[in-house]
């Protein structure tokens, strides 16, 4: 069993909890990337569909940029998750708790709120 710097063993429950948290971050990042792809491709689908019906072909507009931004946010979240996992693992091995900084929590919350606001506004505009 790995040991910390003060010769107390790292508890398996702490290590496994860190791994579960890491996997939750990765699932969330993958969801952002996948939804970003779907949103970006929706404009392509709408253009192709309207072309088949000989209608007005809409421009890519908001959905391409927003979908790309969501995918980029997902990639950033995956990178943050990896960094956070390593920091927490290192802290566990050194016998200390590494809490997430409030700034990181605020930044992630602001990003998710901004994405939600854009989705809500887009839904209201396209009704």
Within a domain: 39: yes
- Global pTM exceeds 0.85: no
The SS3 of residue 44 is helix
Within a domain: 62: yes
pLDDT in tens, 1-12: 555 555 677 888
How many alpha carbons fall within 13 Å on the CB side of residue 96? Answer: 8
Q: 95 lies in which domain range? A: 12-100
Within a domain: 111: no
Name which of 24, 20, 37 is nearest 72 in CA terms.
37
pLDDT in tens, 81-108: 999 999 999 999 998 889 999 999 999 8
Within a domain: 109: no
Within a domain: 93: yes
Within a domain: 27: yes
pLDDT in tens, 22-80: 999 999 999 999 999 988 877 666 666 566 666 555 555 677 888 888 899 999 999 99
- In angstroms, the CA 54 to CA 47 distance is 10
Q: Is 118 exposed, middle or buried (0-12, 13-18, 19+ CB in 10 A)?
A: middle
Q: How many domains does the chain have?
A: 1
Long-range contact set of residues 47-55: C-beta below 8 Å, sequence gap at least 24: none
């Amino acid at each position: 069993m790995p040991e910390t710097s003060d010769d107390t063993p790292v508890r398996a429950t702490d290590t496994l909890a860190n791994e579960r948290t890491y996997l939750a971050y990765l699932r969330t990042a993958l969801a952002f990337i996948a939804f970003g792809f779907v949103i970006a491709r929706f404009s392509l689908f709408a253009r192709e569909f309207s072309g088949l019906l000989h209608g007005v072909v809409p421009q890519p507009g908001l959905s391409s940029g927003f979908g790309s931004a969501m995918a980029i946010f997902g990639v950033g979240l995956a990178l943050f998750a990896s960094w956070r996992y390593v920091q927490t693992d290192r802290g566990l091995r050194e016998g200390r708790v590494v809490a997430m900084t409030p700034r990181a929590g605020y930044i992630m919350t602001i990003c998710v709120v901004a994405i939600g606001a854009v989705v809500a506004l887009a839904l209201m505009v396209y009704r």
